Structure 1
Amino acid sequence: MLPVILGLETTALTLREREIIDRLQPAGYILFSRNIESVEQTRALTDELRARSLNFQPVVGIDQEGGRVIRTAALGLQLPGAADLASFGSVASIIETAIVSTFTLRQLGFNTNFAPVLDLASPSPQANALPSRCWGTEPQQVLAYAGIFNRNQRHYGLMTCGKHFPGMGKAETDPHSDLPVIHATLEEFITEDIVPFMALDDELSGVMLAHILLPDIDPDNPASLSRTLIEQILRERLDYRGLVYTDDLCMGSIARTLPPHLSVPRALEAGCDLPLVCHNVMDIIDGIAEGIARICPQTMHDTIRRVEYNMHKSCVPPKFSQKQWDKLMSRADTLCRTVPSAGSAPGSPVQQY
């Protein structure tokens, strides 16, 4: 198993992708809007990804937050986002959104949703890709609402992922383009931004690391490549035992100075389990695999063991049912008509994938 989550090129595997998957056996995949054209096509693609994974259950994931980060628009499937649901204030609507999201994704063959967002929203909107994606500005509100959403996704059969640790709500730049720098101490993070992660850590299948630089905690490495943040704080201090992902290492905040064949091994050596490499992967995957092969065998043994242990808990998607799908689409439509929009947000590449 190659401990990497890969993005794919289009709506069906290419011959090159099939050869790489069969030879390298990636631990998992993330699908974006570019990979989703129809219900039948999406389920055929996710089924093939699972079938090509030998003797392990791969991560088959998606960013399905709702609102402006939804990857199923081509299927006519929309859902309210975190800010919409928080503003509406209906616990029943949050539960229904989580249930509909979970069952539609399982029908499409996914076992992992890279949600919920646990970042605290900035009181003043920032151009950091987060506006409209957060559950609130206060830790307890985020904890309450995101906890309900997460709990129901897990209960009905999806692996989840809280993001973006240790919290990037204070960032003033978009990590898709540039590396945000946040000047705050660890104590300040622990009393605010990290609270939702601490409170929910036993309930989160995964945690995604932010591409942010925290000079007061680790002046040399962004959080996604920081042994201080991953091993000392997330694993030891918070005692987190689930999967640890990076955000996409093809983002400008990392890739401008460190290409994936260097950043992926760095992330793994820092304690991450599954780095994400989401764009133009086939041109660089062999270089990534060569870098991983040079990592200490004990480090890789521990990583693979954690991945296998956690993915063993994942649920195999049910057989597709058109009747069930039609009912879920009706429920999604009702949600979108019931929950009003909380307002527009600045554009970001995150909504265009």
Structure 2
Amino acid sequence: MTVHAPLIIDVAGLSLTRADCQRLAHPLVGGVILFGRNWQNRDQLTTLCRQIKSVRPDLLIAVDHEGGRVQRFRTDGFTHLPPMAALGALWMRPEKAGEMTGTSALRACAAATAAGYVLGAELRACGVDLSFSPVLDLDHGGSSVIGDRALGRDARVVTLLAQALMLGLKQSGMGNCGKHFPGHGFVKADSHLEIPVDSRSLKAILAEDAAPYGWLSSSLEAVMPAHVIYPKVDRRPAGFSARWLQDILRHRLGFTGAIFSDDLSMEAARFIDGQRVSFTEAALAALAAGADMVLLCNQSIVEDGTPIDAAIDDLSRAVLQGDWALSAASEARRQALLPVGAPLAWDELMVSERYMHALSMLP
């Protein structure tokens, strides 16, 4: 049994190469994140997922598949899911003549559950285990990287819509991952390209952007922190901060599920305490801060995957030298995200009453 497999890596193409298989077989590798380059059609995706599971059945297959502009698979029958902002807009729509107050909110929650079910059921039918969803960021109006990915501006509305969407994911047999803790929506900078800084106080952040994480702490199965610095709380980005991940997220807000780092290849993840760091240094910092798994994305296509090989070797060395301790609790949280039970096959899903009803409920 794997003691702790924290690395989530990517693969190069439409099928596994020998190098991909060797990396996925390593005991420190716990899963794969898929991208658009890994997609040709449903049959190819299903075959790729089967190949991954044939290397190790416990590997977690994940993808960023939220709807709107962040949806990796869009053709060959996949539903074009609306951006999450459409659900928030449905909530805010005035009631029709004769409808009771709150009807629009209930209608939006029903649509969110439908969106979660369609999202999860289609992915699971092709062999994908987890989508990094829902986005819990608030739309403060200035963030281009979040924007219409957010469910809304009001933390209460975001929480209830996310809860409804997570119910739909659960009905499909898929887990969930709220992101980006404690909130990426207030800052304008894109953490893929630079290091965003949110200068608000801890009290202000907890009252708004981080509030959904507390309200959903018993429902969230995983959380992904932001590569954002909140200097009035910690000088490190949240994903590398024990104050944020352990003191606040786990102890203050009561979250007990898995913590993923965001992509360690992003620019905001390459500087800690003002110093440029390697992938391995970033991974060790995230794990030391309280992350259970760390994502290293889009590196299989860089120098034939050399950055992934180096990270695996360096993490292995860190274990042997005692610089990092494997965590059975982290491994249990990773394994808990693997779906239980077989999904509906695609053709069966397409004619199921629940799926067809869910499609009719989408905004």
Give the secondary-structure state (helix, strand or coil) at the position aligned to 1:164: strand
Secondary structure of 2:6 counterpart: strand
Letter in 2 for 1:247: D
Could you tell me which amino acid in structure 2 is paired with residue 135 of structure 1?
A: L
Equivalent in the alignment of 1:106: 124
Q: Among residues 198, 201, 205, which one is paired with 1:189 in the alignment?
A: 205
Question: Under a length normalisation based on structure 1, what TM-score does the superposition of the two structures give?
Answer: 0.87
Whether 1:230 and 2:239 are equivalent positions in the alignment is no
Contact 2:178-2:224 within 8 A present in 1 as well: yes
1:95 touches 1:152 (CA, 8 Å); kept in 2?
yes
Query: If you compute each CA radius of gyration, which structure gives the higher value, 1 or 2?
Result: 2
Q: Which residue does the alignment assign to 1:125?
A: 142
Give the alignment of 1:1-353 within 5 angstroms: 1=2, 2-24=5-27, 26-53=29-56, 57-77=58-78, 78-89=80-91, 90-122=108-140, 124-127=141-144, 129-219=145-235, 221-255=236-270, 257-281=276-300, 282-293=305-316, 294-295=318-319, 300-302=325-327, 304-312=328-336, 314-316=338-340, 318=342, 321-327=345-351, 339=363
* Residue type at the aligned position of 1:105: L
State how many pairs are aligned: 331
| Mapped partners of 2:295, 2:71: distance in 1 | 18
TM-score normalised per structure 2: 0.84
Any gaps of 5 or more consecutive residues in structure 1?
340-353
Distance 1:246 1:258 in 2: 15
CA distance in 2, matches of 1:14, 1:142: 41
Do the aligned residues in 1 keep the contact of 2:83 with 2:149 (CA within 8 Å)?
A: yes
- Partner Cα distance (1:255, 1:207) in 2: 20
User: 1:86 corresponds to which letter in structure 2?
Assistant: G
Conservation of the 8 A alpha-carbon contact between 2:28 and 2:312: no
Task: Show CA shifts across 1:226-277 (max 9, x none).
Answer: 1111121112222221100011111122236323122111111111110111
Alignment partner of 1:160: what SS?
coil
Give the aligned residue type for 2:61. Answer: V
Match of 1:350 in 2: none
Query: Which residue identity is paired with 1:274?
Result: M
SS of the equivalent of 1:149 reads helix
Matches of 1:22 and 1:11 in 2, distance apart?
18
Alpha-carbon distance change, 105 to 317 in structure 1, aligned in 2, over 3 angstroms: farther
Query: CA–CA distance in 1 between the matches of 2:343 and 2:200?
Result: 48
Partner residue in 2 for 1:349: none
Identical pairs, percent:
27
2 CA distance for matches of 1:239 and 1:33?
Answer: 35
Distance 1:114 1:39, change over 3 A: same
- Tell me whether 72-81 or 193-202 shows the greater mean CA deviation: 72-81
CA spacing shift, 1:299–1:254, aligned 2, 3 Å: closer
- Once the 2 structures are TM-superposed, how far is the Cα of residue 316 of structure 1 from its aligned partner? 4.4
For 2:149, what is the secondary structure of its paired residue? Answer: coil
Residue 109 of structure 1, CA deviation: 0.7
5+ long unaligned stretches in structure 2: 92-107
Cα distance in 2, alignment partners of residues 61 and 88 from structure 1: 29
Matched residue SS, 2:62: strand
Partners of 1:312 and 1:255 lie apart in 2 by 29
Is the 8 Å Cα contact of residues 33 and 73 (structure 1) preserved in structure 2?
A: no
